[in-house]
Amino acid sequence: MVRKIIYISIFTFWLQTSLAIAGTTGSEELKDTSSQSATEECFEGFSRAMFELNYDLDRIIFQPVAKGYRALPVPIRKGTGNVINNLRSLLTLSNNILQGDFRKAGNTAGRFVINTTVGIIGIWDPAAAAFGLEEQGKEDFGQTIGVWGADSGCYFVLPIIGPTTARDAIGLVGNIFLDPVYHVTHNSEIHNGLVGNDNYSEHSYYYYRGTGAVDFRSKNIESFDSLERNAIDLYASVKSLYIQERNKKIANAQSLVGTQDASDWEEIDTN
């Protein structure tokens, strides 16, 4: 079990960390520096070296895959993204409940039921279009323990895993225990009790996470490129944006930084 957690942690963060800083132009003024000063830097020399490694991996492997995915027809990409978001909402639901936000939990549960049935496993989003149940944002266990009052701890960058904080690293492990998709695909008892249980194999979980990361990266090619072009120190910009956006999500606040066109950008998603 511990080995599986380690493998999943590495796989997940590799797909969705330093890549997931979209939503800014890279030249914006940071409007809230107090939270950043409270987040200490741990092992900056090591972190910068690991940031460069992760950046090279993205440039050589992940970005080309995302560009190839973007060549698919828009309806296919949109439907794929909707299905991934629908499955991801189960993790959000778990954390809504743990945070005591039962209004959002009801909204998330309603969206999942409607989109899974009427929307055919989430390909479409009738929950928003026909029932007015708009998505309220993603939640993860790192946010949850932040809501409970835990400080972020120090910031650091790990090889493959990417940028994180002590709190978010703990949160990733918690996500594994809270994510129903993980348990459905990894629990042998569930497999044996389901017809056609090959559809619920462990590989399905990795396909789900990998496809979600490719979809996310493809939506944010321009935003990451813009950040790269405009940032004087890309490492420092990523750190600032990561910390700001994580604090913003914990506070359920509006974005702290402006964008060229907010409707065109994806929010930071580390899970």
**DSSP state letters, 60-97:** IIIHHHHHHHHTS-HHHHHHHHHHHHHHHHHHHHHHHH
168, 152 Cβ separation under 8 angstroms: yes
Residue 5: its pLDDT value, please? 45
Residue 156 pairs in a beta bridge with 164
DSSP state of 19: T
Each residue's pLDDT tens digit, 54-103: 999 999 998 999 999 999 999 999 999 999 999 999 999 999 999 999 99
Rounded to 5°, angle at Cα 79 from 78 and 82: 85
252 or 151, greater pLDDT: 151
164, 13 Cβ separation under 8 angstroms: yes
Q: How far does CA 256 lie from the centroid of its chain?
A: 18
Pairwise CA distance, residues 64 & 8, whole Å: 23
Predicted confidence band of residue 192 (pLDDT cuts 50, 70, 90): low
All structural domains of the chain with their residue ranges: 2-18+30-253
- Which tokens belong to 17? 């960390």
Residue 204: its pLDDT value, please? 83
pTM of the model: 0.78
Pairwise CA distance, residues 153 & 232, whole Å: 26
Q: Annotate 195-216 with b (16+ C-beta within 10 A) or e (fewer).
A: eeeeebebeebbebbbbbbbbb
3-class DSSP state for residue 113?
Answer: helix
91, HSE (Cβ side, Cα atoms, 13 Å): 29
Q: Which amino acid, 109?
A: A
**Per-residue pLDDT averaged across 251-259, rounded?**
53
The rounded mean pLDDT for the chain is 80
Sequence-separated (6 or more) residues with CB below 8 Å from residue 47: 41, 155, 156, 157, 163, 235
**Per-residue pLDDT averaged across 149-177, rounded?**
90
